[in-house]
């Protein structure tokens, strides 16, 4: 078994009456690209700040590369951090900023120059002249040039154009190929879908799932869009059928999520005189949203139905 790059036990943070993170138990392997998914306000940034010991937990504990997160001197030797919003010195040039950050954290100058070129950053400009995307490039170069064991990235592509997002994904793959661990916090599913080995889904401060992307997609199973020339079947009746997880009525028809065999549902559609039927597997976004729209019991039923349908 690989050593752990990140471990948390019952990690909890409250701000007054607001629970930002509630009992997080998480393990991230070394060399893994790990996606940390959730909408804004789910607790992603709070988790990263706890890992960096920028804030202290209300309960629980965290470890970074086997070192307690509270032991900042030792833990931060292994870590590079990319915040979602870069706060830099406006009067310095990009080159001066990278030199300063490199002197603090260490840097491979050859890698630094390569990153500047690949991210199409003009280091001669002063930071105050940079767009948000270019400030973000500074932070990416500053983190990647350290060759840190663990890269903590909080919405790292904020402000980047699609071409630079693709280059970022290539850089993440290369970092993982060198044995570095990438902890990628994002609410953008496209950002994690092509690079992450596993993802965690955070909802209102609580961890609801950790799985590979393939495992998540399997839970979603199948989506059927049906249209009828006559009366549309009652959604309440469809929900009673084997494997049906959810029913969403629309003009002239229904959209049904079904896990396992759709035989009972198709029979009901045929009896109702279905006129048009379209099916497709869920996208990662649909799977992700499903975790916010269904209860834990429904998700368990989906998983059980999927398992029963396997040969």
| pLDDT at res. 188 | 73
Q: What percent of the chain has pLDDT over 90?
A: 69
Same domain, 173 and 154: yes
> How many C-alpha atoms does 13 have within 13 Å on its Cβ side?
22
Same domain, 276 and 150: no
Same domain, 103 and 252: no
Average pLDDT of the residues of the chain: 88
pLDDT at 154 over 90: yes
Separation CA 47–CA 186 (nearest Å): 12
Same domain, 296 and 258: yes
Non-local (6+) Cβ contacts of 177 within 8 A are: none
With bands split at pLDDT 50, 70 and 90, how would you rate the model's confidence at 174?
very high
The tens digit of pLDDT for each residue in 23-62 reads: 999 999 999 999 998 888 899 999 999 999 999 999 999 9
DSSP string, 100-119: HHHHHH---HHHHHHHHHHT
pLDDT at 177 over 80: yes
Better-predicted residue by pLDDT, 203 or 116: 116
Residue pair 138/130 in contact (Cβ under 8 Å)? The answer is yes
Of 211, 233, 253, which closes a domain?
211
- pTM greater than the 0.85 cutoff: no
Same domain, 86 and 223: no
- Distances from the Cα of 227 to the Cα of 10, 215, 254, 268, angstroms: 48, 30, 7, 13
Q: Specify the length of the chain in residues.
A: 311
Can you give the residue range of the structural domain that contains 236?
217-309
Same domain, 139 and 280: no
Among 279, 277, 278, 303, residue whose Cα is nearest residue 290: 303
Describe the chain by its helix, strand, coil percentages, rounded to 5. Answer: 40, 30, 30
Displacement of CA 308 from its chain's centroid (Å): 29
What residue has token string 């649909």? 286
pLDDT at 297 over 50: no
Same domain, 207 and 229: no
pLDDT at 207 over 60: yes
| pLDDT at res. 293 | 59
Residue pair 121/88 in contact (Cβ under 8 Å)? The answer is no
Same domain, 250 and 120: no
Can you tell me the mean pLDDT for 258-280? 91
Which CATH number covers residue 162?
3.40.50.300
| pLDDT at res. 39 | 81
How many domains is the chain partitioned into structurally?
2
Q: Based on the number of CB atoms within 10 Å of its own CB, is 286 exposed (0-12), middle (13-18) or buried (19 or more)?
A: middle
| pLDDT at res. 3 | 80
Which 3-state string (H, E, C) describes 254-267?
Answer: EEEEECCCCHHHHH
Separation CA 265–CA 247 (nearest Å): 11
Lay out the sheet containing 222-228: strands in order across.
244-250, 253-258, 222-228, 274-280
Of 160, 195, 211, which closes a domain?
211
How does strand 198-203 pair with strand 33-37? parallel
The tens digit of pLDDT for each residue in 221-257 reads: 688 999 999 999 999 999 999 888 789 999 899 999 8
Q: Based on the number of CB atoms within 10 Å of its own CB, is 177 exposed (0-12), middle (13-18) or buried (19 or more)?
A: exposed
Separation CA 142–CA 123 (nearest Å): 12
Of 211, 229, 261, which closes a domain?
211
Same domain, 49 and 82: yes
| pLDDT at res. 311 | 44
Can you tell me the mean pLDDT for 16-24? 97
With bands split at pLDDT 50, 70 and 90, how would you rate the model's confidence at 303?
very low
Same domain, 164 and 252: no
Residue 137's SS3 state is helix
Among 152, 19, 176, residue whose Cα is nearest residue 79: 152
The tens digit of pLDDT for each residue in 274-295 reads: 999 998 776 666 666 666 655 4
Ramachandran category for residue 152: left, alpha or beta (phi over 0 → left; psi -120 to 50 → alpha): beta
Lay out the sheet containing 181-186: strands in order across.
79-82, 150-154, 181-186, 33-37, 198-203, 206-211
Same domain, 199 and 228: no
| pLDDT at res. 1 | 40
Same domain, 207 and 91: yes
Better-predicted residue by pLDDT, 94 or 85: 94
What residue has token string 């030199």? 99
């Amino acid at each position: 078994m690989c050593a752990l790059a990140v471990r948390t036990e019952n990690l909890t943070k409250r701000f007054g009456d607001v629970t930002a993170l509630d009992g997080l138990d998480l393990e991230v392997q070394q060399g893994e690209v790990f996606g940390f998914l959730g909408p804004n306000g789910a607790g992603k940034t709070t988790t990263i700040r706890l890992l960096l010991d920028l804030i202290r937990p209300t309960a629980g504990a965290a470890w970074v590369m086997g070192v307690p997160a509270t032991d900042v001197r030792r833990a931060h030797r292994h870590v590079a951090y990319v915040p979602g919003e870069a706060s830099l010195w406006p009067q310095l040039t990009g080159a001066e900023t990278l030199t300063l950050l490199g002197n603090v954290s260490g840097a491979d100058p050859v890698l630094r120059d390569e990153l500047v070129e690949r991210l199409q950053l003009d280091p001669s400009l002063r930071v105050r002249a940079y767009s948000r995307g270019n400030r973000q490039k500074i932070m990416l170069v500053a983190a990647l040039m350290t060759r840190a064991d663990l890269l903590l990235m909080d919405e790292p592509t904020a402000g980047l154009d699609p071409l630079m997002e693709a280059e970022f994904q290539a850089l993440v793959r290369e970092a993982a190929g060198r044995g570095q661990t990438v902890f990628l916090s994002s609410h953008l599913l496209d950002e994690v879908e092509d690079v992450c080995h596993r993802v965690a889904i955070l909802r209102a401060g609580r961890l609801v799932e950790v799985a590979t992307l393939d495992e998540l997609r399997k839970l979603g199973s199948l989506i059927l869009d049906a249209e009828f020339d006559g009366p549309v079947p009652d959604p309440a009746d469809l929900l009673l059928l084997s494997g049906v997880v959810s029913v969403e009525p629309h003009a002239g028809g229904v959209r049904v999520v079904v896990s396992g065999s759709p035989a009972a549902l198709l029979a009901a559609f045929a009896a109702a005189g279905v006129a048009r039927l379209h099916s497709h597997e869920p996208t990662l976004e649909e799977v992700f949203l499903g975790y916010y729209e269904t209860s834990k019991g429904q998700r368990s039923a989906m998983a059980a139905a999927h398992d029963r349908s396997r040969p």
